[in-house]
């Protein structure tokens, strides 16, 4: 039976007959990390091979600024602006730059979990109701190298009803992340298209917010709303929180995209990413195949653009 340390990823061969229960605690002899291993799941996870030749070697070794923006919420209360697609493909791009990445599906729609092939798994709901302190037990090592996922499930919808009127409900995720955040270089949080329990928790837990926005007439309205909330958080809770607008699904064939882009750029200036994500059918195709776009078609324009976005974030 192969056991992989969740922290340093060292793999150990263990004699299965020494283990009684399915779940058991082990200490890594290399980094001393103590973690829970599962008899049933060990050895089953076959890591998928990375697409070759899409990342320059020097970027892979670029150091992570531990005091930098490592916990990133992807938020906009406007629906369908590519929050989930960005969380997945940016997370994968960072993992290809050899960064250790945790994705958090913080949306009861569970779109991110579904896209990654996770159904009926535990979620933040179970994190709060298990009676355990940490998050580690609930985090799944995915088949993609350097990539972990805290999935969502349908029970997540109950959290909003249960905790919304409790004092300090908006700090629940931040508190839980404290115990695991040093194990990852980046933590990306996908949020729902509304501002309530989940988005508030995600924003308060984060150092940085990516606001995806399409180039459409009402886009500036959605960005304004989330910007106001971030500014309130900045004044009252976390003065270091920053944000940038990411243009998504840019239609190069359409003049109105260019007009709205110019408007967004003049409003948000340096608070827009240099990288723009084009409308690209490869994103849709890759999602049908449950595969991130850079594993589906590494030469596609959106794969290249999400890698550029990852480089912009690492170099920031």
Interacting residues with ligand ATP (CB under 6 A): 79-85, 107, 109, 111, 192-193, 248-249, 277, 279-280, 283-284, 287, 302
Residue 79 touches which of Mg ion, ligand ATP, none (Cβ within 5-8 Å per kind): ligand ATP
We find the least distance from the C-beta atom of residue 190 to Mg ion, in angstroms, to be 6
The pair phi, psi for residue 182, each rounded to 5°, is -75, -10
Kindly state the smallest distance separating residue 291's Cβ from Mg ion, in Å: 17
Determine which helix (DSSP H) or strand (DSSP E) holds 209, and give its type and residue range: strand 208-214
**Choice between 74 and 97, CB closer to ligand ATP:** 74
Three-state DSSP at 109 gives: coil
**Strand, coil or helix: what is 267?**
helix
236 burial level (CB within 10 Å; 0-12, 13-18, 19+):
exposed
CB of 93 to ligand ATP, least distance (A): 14
Nearest residue to 228 (alpha-carbon basis) of 262, 203, 261, 206? 203
Q: Which is nearer to Mg ion, 35 or 306 (CB)?
A: 306
* Alpha-carbon dihedral sign for residues 83, 88, 90, 91: positive
CB of 3 or CB of 249, closer to ligand ATP: 249
Interface residues toward Mg ion, by CB under 5 A: 83-84, 111
266 burial type by CB count under 10 A (0-12 exposed, 13-18 middle, 19+ buried): exposed
Residue 145 or residue 193: which is nearer to ligand ATP going by CB?
Answer: 193
Q: Which is nearer to Mg ion, 111 or 272 (CB)?
A: 111
Residue whose C-beta lies closest to Mg ion? 84
Q: Quick one: what does residue 91 bind among Mg ion, ligand ATP, none, with the CB cut-off 5 to 8 Å set by partner type? A: none
CA 132 to chain centre: 23
């Amino acid at each position: 039976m192969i056991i992989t340390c969740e922290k340093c990823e060292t793999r150990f061969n263990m004699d299965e007959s020494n283990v009684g229960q399915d779940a058991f605690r082990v200490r890594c002899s290399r980094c001393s990390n103590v973690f829970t291993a599962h008899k049933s799941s060990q050895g089953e996870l076959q890591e998928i091979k990375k697409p070759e030749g899409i990342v320059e070697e020097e970027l892979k070794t670029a150091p992570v600024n531990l005091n930098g923006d490592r916990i990133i919420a992807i938020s906009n209360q406007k629906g369908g602006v590519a929050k989930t697609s960005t969380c997945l493909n940016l997370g994968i791009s960072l993992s290809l730059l050899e960064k250790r990445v945790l994705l958090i599906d913080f949306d009861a729609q569970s779109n991110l979990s579904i896209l990654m092939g996770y159904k009926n798994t535990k979620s933040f709901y179970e994190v709060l109701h298990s009676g355990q302190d940490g998050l580690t037990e609930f985090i799944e090592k995915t088949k993609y190298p350097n990539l972990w996922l805290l999935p969502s499930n349908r029970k997540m919808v109950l959290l909003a009803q249960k905790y919304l009127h409790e004092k300090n409900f908006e700090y629940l995720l931040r508190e839980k992340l404290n115990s695991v955040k040093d194990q990852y270089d980046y933590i990306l949080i996908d949020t729902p298209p509304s501002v309530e329990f989940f988005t508030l928790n995600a924003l308060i837990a984060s150092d940085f917010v990516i606001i995806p926005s399409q180039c459409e007439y009402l886009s500036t309205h959605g960005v304004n709303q989330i910007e106001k909330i971030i500014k309130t958080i900045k004044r009252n809770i976390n003065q270091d929180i920053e944000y940038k607008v990411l243009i998504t699904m840019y239609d190069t064939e359409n003049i109105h995209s260019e007009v709205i882009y110019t408007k967004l750029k003049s409003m948000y200036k340096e608070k827009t990413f240099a990288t723009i994500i084009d409308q690209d059918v490869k994103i849709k195709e890759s999602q049908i195949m449950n595969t991130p776009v850079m594993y589906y078609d590494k030469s596609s324009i959106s794969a290249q653009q999400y890698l550029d976005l990852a480089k912009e974030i690492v170099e920031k």
